[in-house]
Chain A
């Protein structure tokens, strides 16, 4: 078997990580701001107070800038699966392609159509009609995210599909099972409400800027109040769903949860500390120092006081029989490909669940061929493959902690902000206004850390326990990958710069006087919508 150059695999990973991280700077704000706009417009329709229409229009313009650039950065990613991950696309295309195609339809037809109506329909639609459109924009953008997360959940917990020995790829057993998988549900809600948190901080921060400068008080105080309440409930929801996801990882992705918690050895409940901070050493497989909180880990992860969490040493040991079984599966599959003998197919099916572990062993097999390993070398191949089942512990451990620490901070700041806003004491506490203003980028950062935790923790697989990452990439040249990576980095940096420039510009410009419009803003939005459509 000829391997794809490891450098090309690393560059493909870097390119995908870069484009995904860039894209995800825009997504959370879109997910959350749409529902905040809907909330503002709901108050406008119910109370008839014009200030809420102004609020919806002002924040809607900032949303429009973010939405347009967000769509532009997302476009390339859909093609990247085919160009840079062709082996993965062949192997998992049925499972992954379907939700991705539905997402494309959602984003381009439902979301974009209604976005146009939302921006340009203020004076053309009835009040309830326009409100319905705004809700449909919110629903459309969140449903787009839903299909992406269903696809992603399939990579992390590939249920509802099986490998077909005749077509040599994963095929659907049940679409409903894929859509309603527990992992997909929890991932979607966690990500969606993380977007609500990002949008709340964004609205709160810019409102704080106006309150500190004594500008646009009527709009800023109302926006701040709504965002603070939006944020406090959302941050509780994010924490709750984070806990649900942790519990699911414990059941379905034990290597990820062990890496997240820096657990090299299986725990002994009930006493087992939660590691607050440590320096995990992937080479020596130890933590160099630890700051612990006793008794917290077992109930936190297992939701019980008596179940252990399996450590990484033990997971490596447990992988041994699965690697042997995977080698049998691949040997039977190869024979079946040549003979089409039912006995080979039956043998393959009996070991199919471990096939991915057989793929993992190919790097260590003589001539990279697991189907012809001499009996005296089998033990050595299995032994060499065992450590490969673990993700990068340092990265997974710390990205998770940064996300969690930031999540705790958001809860605290939203709680204080909501309380002071309800007491109408915001201006008396400028420290809070300054803190919220400087906290605007932090929820975006937290979602990036969350994505790194989920995806770095899934390694060494693209499809968990089924297909290793080093077998998933396309066979490009290194030069091609370096060139395209540099191109993406440059292009996306321009997008970020444009977004920041426009956001700062329009935030500083502030809301219009009641009932008037900035021609410049309308022209810009018209241009974005035109170019997107």
Chain B
């Protein structure tokens, strides 16, 4: 029973890896094609992701800053 479960887990892992590898290949092909044919479209995709991530990082930094202040106040 345990052996079957382990086998299933292993094949699921392989499927997941294969899926991720396929997604990676598609992403690379997309990047090569769009980067070549539509450099500004590509820049928009990359730029928007970057803007979203930096903006989110700013908010997380604010959380950390406020947590830091709260901890300092507690300690003092």
Which residues of A pack against B, CB within 8 Å?
Answer: 35-36, 38-40, 42-43, 46-47, 49, 52, 176, 180, 182, 185-186, 188-189, 192-193, 196, 221-222, 225-230, 233-234, 237, 241, 244, 418, 421-422, 424
Identify 30 residue pairs between A and B in the complex whose beta-carbon atoms are under 8 Å apart, listed by A's number. Answer: A35-B51, A39-B51, A39-B56, A39-B59, A42-B53, A43-B56, A43-B60, A52-B59, A180-B41, A182-B40, A186-B40, A189-B44, A189-B47, A192-B44, A196-B51, A222-B62, A226-B55, A226-B59, A227-B55, A229-B51, A229-B57, A229-B58, A230-B51, A230-B55, A233-B50, A234-B51, A237-B47, A237-B51, A421-B62, A422-B58
How extensive is the interface on chain B, given as a class? 20 to 34
Asked if B6 is at the interface (CB within 8 A of a chain A CB), the reply is no
Q: A222 vs B65: C-alpha distance in the bound complex, in angstroms?
A: 12
Q: State whether A424 and B65 are in contact (beta carbons under 8 Å apart), knowing that A35-B48, A180-B37 are contacts in the complex.
A: yes
- A181 (CB) vs chain B CBs: closest residue: B38
The answer to whether A36 touches B44, judged by C-beta atoms less than 8 angstroms apart, is no
Asked if B19 is at the interface (CB within 8 A of a chain A CB), the reply is no
Nearest CB of chain A from residue B12's CB, rounded to whole Å: 19
The answer to whether B40 touches A244, judged by C-beta atoms less than 8 angstroms apart, is yes
The answer to whether B56 touches A226, judged by C-beta atoms less than 8 angstroms apart, is yes
Interface of chain B, main secondary structure = helix
Nearest CB of chain B from residue A17's CB, rounded to whole Å: 27
Encode B60-76 as 1/0 by CB contact (under 8 A) with A. 11110100000000000
Asked if B52 is at the interface (CB within 8 A of a chain A CB), the reply is yes
Q: A39 vs B39: C-alpha distance in the bound complex, in angstroms?
A: 24
Which residues of B pack against A, CB within 8 Å?
Answer: 37-41, 43-44, 47-48, 50-63, 65
Q: State whether A185 and B38 are in contact (beta carbons under 8 Å apart), knowing that A43-B59, A225-B62 are contacts in the complex.
A: yes
B43 neighbours in A (Cβ, 8 Å): 189
Q: A36 vs B55: C-alpha distance in the bound complex, in angstroms?
A: 8
A42 neighbours in B (Cβ, 8 Å): 52-53, 56
The answer to whether B60 touches A47, judged by C-beta atoms less than 8 angstroms apart, is yes
Nearest CB of chain B from residue A175's CB, rounded to whole Å: 13
B62 neighbours in A (Cβ, 8 Å): 221-222, 225, 421, 424
Q: A234 vs B44: C-alpha distance in the bound complex, in angstroms?
A: 11
Nearest CB of chain A from residue B31's CB, rounded to whole Å: 15
A36 neighbours in B (Cβ, 8 Å): 55
The answer to whether A39 touches B55, judged by C-beta atoms less than 8 angstroms apart, is yes
Q: A149 vs B67: C-alpha distance in the bound complex, in angstroms?
A: 45
Of A39, A52, A188, chain B has the most CB atoms within 10 Å of the CB of: A39
Q: A272 vs B55: C-alpha distance in the bound complex, in angstroms?
A: 40
Query: Which 6 pairs across A and B sit closest by C-beta, in order of nearness?
Result: A185-B40, A229-B58, A230-B55, A39-B52, A226-B55, A189-B44
- B37 (CB) vs chain A CBs: closest residue: A180
- A424 (CB) vs chain B CBs: closest residue: B65
A227 neighbours in B (Cβ, 8 Å): 55
A185 neighbours in B (Cβ, 8 Å): 38-41
